Chains A and B, each alone.
Chain A
């Protein structure tokens, strides 16, 4: 009767059917009688003041309920730190409708509330705004002289500043046998999840609100609403069962949440605010970043000196930072290092973590510099990585909890056929096409935060698990059910995982690849406690053979507790519930990472990426014809959803290296391609043969599950591998992303 463990099984997403049939309801899909619709008005200037705002014409339309601006908004929290959310960088968070100051182009300056969405949208065009313009600056390259060291704050805990210099970089670099110096850059990128940002606030009366919000953290939104509007947390319930992609854009409460709640409280009505696609370009984004590297090596390829500097954009009001320059010394044990990271304040909204923030930026520079160094040394690029391989993280002088990167290199090279590559650039061709093979390494930190989970054996003897965590489309719901099922030897069908609700036990925002480890560990802790409790209850039953039996002497399997030494002796969970007067049995546990143990180790997922490109020799057109990512990320809970995560990262890598960019007109200080017709993400015809291999790691240190997370590792190594493959095909190093085909003419 013993069941196979669920962990490790490629189970399809449990909510997949709901999603593909349209039955899944997203935050903008909840309807109640009398629902009102809000449409946000955005600033059309980049910097200045609102001299005058007239809402008379808009309000005169039948069906328009109210127009909110900074002039008639309700009184709000005065202290700006009340607006700080769990992901707020150091600074003063943006406060919608706070005053008439315009801080960036597209800033929300008003909300029209009407009986229909169409009417609200139309009425918004009738609001007349007179601005006083001030001079502004949005151009990073023109303002690097103003770069400053970022302010530190709470967010710094997960985003450490650059490590202190080691050795004597300048001398070592000057004396090194081979030297590479290079500059890298990429522009602004916007998350653009398919699902638009929407909040439906249901006005429950008695100061209570139920809020359906597109977010990566129900508790984060709950606390934000409570703090900003002065509500009791228990009166604010935030629900987000389905999220149609977010990629970091939902890590902070966005302004549609503020607008929807403000209007609901003021009008004492239920209000929905949905942003349109162009408004998706009016909040966070990946910041444009300028990088430079100087790597020096001895004649055997050992890196002796590494310098990596980055200057990134941020807003005038917050010092948003990323970990960009810390990675090279985590990968390569050079004795002389110099890492620098600075920010430039510009008239834009604060940047916001976007899938693999910092990692995909930094690894672009590091791994293309490594490729260039390999050519300078006349050493195979893969060989150069092996020469500089280390099981230790020299930047923090400690070992990795596990690191199977070498296996990734070896298995990947074998599967890809790396040995068949002629290293000479431009040497491989097929008709009009130059063929290039490139590779790169990826690394992403494996974090683990505190979280709670509740576990219940229901009256029917089924297992129910509760957590406030969201599922941003990654398969969280499915893998949490798998983890929970294994705690009791149940099949996934016998587990109900309820989530995406701030009323349920605390989970942090879903991001940084730490959700599986964080919530999964909480489930394991709850499972352990509940097993003990059930065994104790079983021991209290009449004539119980389990009385006084220690937990180590039993197994939980398929709805039964069984004596290890005598499998004939068992009791069903259902009978335990019956003996418990039919009442359910539950535990609610907090899981906290063992920081004393963990701080002795560096923890990271790694990847090796191999890419084949074809470049049209005369026309420059690039196609990624083949790519392979080999990932070592601890234990893989669900190979199917994990593979999808990596594939998604690989598609995004093609996007990042070759396609996507937010076009900025710095003369106007605004984004010009605010739609998916002109913001180019890959289409089917851009995607060819993609493959993923997982190299399992048995990591007993990192957490009880042995997981490292796979959300970001798919997007760090492949963009530079594409650039390196293009160099191999053409002999041209294009260090600016995205690589436009005309740069290869």
Chain B
């Protein structure tokens, strides 16, 4: 790890001012990913600005127009176990608890969750080519061991996936990301926050240097009657998703009025399909219709040498998770498949 300075910011404005002092300066909150990346020399920084002590962003607030606001510096654990989240947004609670370990969730923050980097092996190994780490150096994963890599939205320069569980639920719930920066405040729709790799896989999201996430807004609709989160991975806990699915359904007499289906572990960002969700609208909530939706969502999916299984796995996961959403009590700890 390189030497760096460490300072505590007292306000958001103070944090924004401090981080602009240099292009290498970084915010740190939970540090559950950033510190690892510094140890591996994947990220070098000369200044860490600790935002944990900035007051006013550690809680959940009700919003006047309905919905709630999640403080960016609130931990993942406090969020997942908060009564409002458990009761009104249980999909979010389930997704958060499917991620990482209890220890990591106790440290990791909501804002930081959106900013975690991919877990691609090659990204973490500074002695291998990686366009995300070192633009123009090439992608080792495309011709390498790519079992965990993307099947949707990948490019010739990067096939990495975004590892978050929480963000899969936030994508399904159509959250909004509130940002402060040197030029004032702005908001981004959740689907506009993360990017596909394209020719610039080094840029994960649309946050500029100097900008900081201050909160995440959730609309009033929490889909607490029919929801499910399913995560498929190589062990039952403390492993990233090979495929995960967040499903939220609004049903009326067995007819789907509205559906949200977001996939994790398959692309450079949480994956949603407008066509798939549109297809389901007004249809009966049956396994047959869910199966057809799965086909639509995976249209255009492409696998590599070791990860083609993800295409069929994702389809089956979508169907199962939609069935689980019809009876949310069938969900199991760790977002395992229902019995």
Interface residues of A, Cβ cutoff 8 Å to B: 44, 118, 121-122, 125, 430-433, 616, 618-621, 623, 659, 663-665, 667-668, 670, 672-673, 677-678, 680, 682-686, 740-742, 745
In the complex, the chain A residue whose C-beta lies closest to that of B309 is A742
Question: Does B337 contact A430, Cβ atoms closer than 8 Å?
Answer: no
Query: Shortest beta-carbon distance, A684 to chain B, in Å?
Result: 7
**Chain B residues within 8 Å of A433, by CB:** 339
Any A CB within 8 A of the CB of B5: no
**Chain B residues within 8 Å of A673, by CB:** 121
Q: Please report the C-alpha to C-alpha distance between residue A560 and residue B273 in the assembled complex, in whole angstroms.
A: 84
Find A745's partner among B144, B237, B313, B337 (CB 8 Å cutoff).
B313
Question: Does A672 contact B125, Cβ atoms closer than 8 Å?
Answer: yes
Segment of B10-18, B149-157, B165-173, B228-236 in the binding face: B228-236
For this complex, 14 residue pairs linking A to B, each with C-beta atoms less than 8 Å apart, are A44-B127, A122-B2, A618-B319, A619-B232, A667-B144, A677-B119, A678-B119, A680-B234, A683-B237, A686-B235, A686-B237, A740-B234, A745-B312, A745-B313
Number of interface residues of B (CB under 8 A): 36
From A433, A667, A672, name the one whose CB has the most chain B CB atoms within 10 angstroms: A672
Query: Shortest beta-carbon distance, B319 to chain A, in Å?
Result: 8
A-B residue pairs, 5 tightest by C-beta? A685-B236, A742-B309, A672-B121, A44-B127, A685-B237
In the complex, the chain B residue whose C-beta lies closest to that of A663 is B145
**Chain B residues within 8 Å of A432, by CB:** 320, 337-339
**Chain B residues within 8 Å of A668, by CB:** 128, 140, 144
**Chain A residues within 8 Å of B143, by CB:** 667
Q: Please report the C-alpha to C-alpha distance between residue A680 and residue B237 in the assembled complex, in whole angstroms.
A: 10
Q: Please report the C-alpha to C-alpha distance between residue A123 and residue B239 in the assembled complex, in whole angstroms.
A: 33
**Chain A residues within 8 Å of B319, by CB:** 618
From A432, A623, A663, A677, name the one whose CB has the most chain B CB atoms within 10 angstroms: A677
**Chain B residues within 8 Å of A125, by CB:** 2, 41
Question: Does B339 contact A659, Cβ atoms closer than 8 Å?
Answer: no
In the complex, the chain A residue whose C-beta lies closest to that of B144 is A665
Query: Shortest beta-carbon distance, B122 to chain A, in Å?
Result: 7
Question: Does B339 contact A118, Cβ atoms closer than 8 Å?
Answer: no
The residues in B between 306 and 339 inclusive whose CB is less than 8 angstroms from any CB of A are 309-310, 312-313, 316-317, 319-320, 333-334, 336-339
Main secondary structure of the interface of A (DSSP, over half): loop
Whether A683 contacts B1 in the complex (CB less than 8 A), given A619-B313, A665-B144, comes out as no
**Chain A residues within 8 Å of B208, by CB:** none
Whether A672 contacts B122 in the complex (CB less than 8 A), given A118-B1, A619-B337, comes out as yes
Whether A685 contacts B334 in the complex (CB less than 8 A), given A430-B339, A740-B234, comes out as yes
Question: Does B313 contact A742, Cβ atoms closer than 8 Å?
Answer: yes
- A665-B144, A673-B121, A677-B238 given; name 11 further pairs at CB < 8 Å: A432-B338, A618-B337, A619-B337, A623-B236, A680-B234, A680-B239, A682-B235, A685-B237, A686-B235, A742-B242, A745-B313
Question: Does A685 contact B320, Cβ atoms closer than 8 Å?
Answer: no
Q: Please report the C-alpha to C-alpha distance between residue A682 and residue B144 in the assembled complex, in whole angstroms.
A: 25
Query: Shortest beta-carbon distance, A742 to chain B, in Å?
Result: 4
Any A CB within 8 A of the CB of B21: no
Question: Does B145 contact A672, Cβ atoms closer than 8 Å?
Answer: yes
**Chain B residues within 8 Å of A672, by CB:** 121-122, 125, 144-145
**Chain B residues within 8 Å of A44, by CB:** 127
Query: Shortest beta-carbon distance, B314 to chain A, in Å?
Result: 11
**Chain B residues within 8 Å of A678, by CB:** 119, 121
Any A CB within 8 A of the CB of B103: no
Question: Does A745 contact B232, Cβ atoms closer than 8 Å?
Answer: no
In the complex, the chain B residue whose C-beta lies closest to that of A740 is B234
Whether A685 contacts B333 in the complex (CB less than 8 A), given A44-B127, A121-B1, A431-B339, comes out as yes
Q: Please report the C-alpha to C-alpha distance between residue A664 and residue B319 in the assembled complex, in whole angstroms.
A: 34
Q: Please report the C-alpha to C-alpha distance between residue A620 and residue B233 in the assembled complex, in whole angstroms.
A: 11
Q: Please report the C-alpha to C-alpha distance between residue A616 and residue B320 in the assembled complex, in whole angstroms.
A: 11
Query: Shortest beta-carbon distance, B258 to chain A, in Å?
Result: 26
Question: Does A621 contact B121, Cβ atoms closer than 8 Å?
Answer: no
Find A122's partner among B1, B236, B239, B313 (CB 8 Å cutoff).
B1
**Chain A residues within 8 Å of B41, by CB:** 125
Q: Please report the C-alpha to C-alpha distance between residue A659 and residue B125 in the assembled complex, in whole angstroms.
A: 22
Question: Does A616 contact B122, Cβ atoms closer than 8 Å?
Answer: no
In the complex, the chain A residue whose C-beta lies closest to that of B126 is A44
Find B320's partner among A122, A619, A684, A740 (CB 8 Å cutoff).
A619
Q: Please report the C-alpha to C-alpha distance between residue A745 and residue B242 in the assembled complex, in whole angstroms.
A: 14
Find A683's partner among B121, B235, B339 (CB 8 Å cutoff).
B235
**Chain A residues within 8 Å of B236, by CB:** 623, 683, 685-686
In the complex, the chain A residue whose C-beta lies closest to that of B122 is A672
Query: Shortest beta-carbon distance, A505 to chain B, in Å?
Result: 43
In the complex, the chain B residue whose C-beta lies closest to that of A668 is B128
Find B336's partner among A118, A621, A683 (CB 8 Å cutoff).
A621
In the complex, the chain A residue whose C-beta lies closest to that of B120 is A672
Q: Please report the C-alpha to C-alpha distance between residue A62 and residue B290 in the assembled complex, in whole angstroms.
A: 65
Query: Shortest beta-carbon distance, A599 to chain B, in Å?
Result: 45
In the complex, the chain B residue whose C-beta lies closest to that of A659 is B235
Question: Does A659 contact B234, Cβ atoms closer than 8 Å?
Answer: yes
Whether A616 contacts B128 in the complex (CB less than 8 A), given A682-B235, A745-B316, comes out as no
Whether A741 contacts B338 in the complex (CB less than 8 A), given A618-B320, A667-B144, comes out as no
In the complex, the chain B residue whose C-beta lies closest to that of A655 is B235
In the complex, the chain A residue whose C-beta lies closest to that of B234 is A680
Q: Please report the C-alpha to C-alpha distance between residue A122 and residue B2 in the assembled complex, in whole angstroms.
A: 6
Find A619's partner among B119, B144, B316 (CB 8 Å cutoff).
B316
**Chain A residues within 8 Å of B339, by CB:** 430-433
Question: Does B121 contact A663, Cβ atoms closer than 8 Å?
Answer: yes
Contact with A along B23-37 (1 / 0, CB 8 A): 000000000000000
Whether A684 contacts B237 in the complex (CB less than 8 A), given A616-B337, A672-B122, comes out as yes
Q: Please report the C-alpha to C-alpha distance between residue A680 and residue B312 in the assembled complex, in whole angstroms.
A: 23
**Chain A residues within 8 Å of B122, by CB:** 672
Query: Shortest beta-carbon distance, B320 to chain A, in Å?
Result: 6
**Chain A residues within 8 Å of B334, by CB:** 685
Q: Please report the C-alpha to C-alpha distance between residue A623 and residue B2 in the assembled complex, in whole angstroms.
A: 43
Q: Please report the C-alpha to C-alpha distance between residue A741 and residue B243 in the assembled complex, in whole angstroms.
A: 12
In the complex, the chain A residue whose C-beta lies closest to that of B239 is A680
**Chain A residues within 8 Å of B309, by CB:** 742, 745
Q: Please report the C-alpha to C-alpha distance between residue A618 and residue B125 in the assembled complex, in whole angstroms.
A: 35
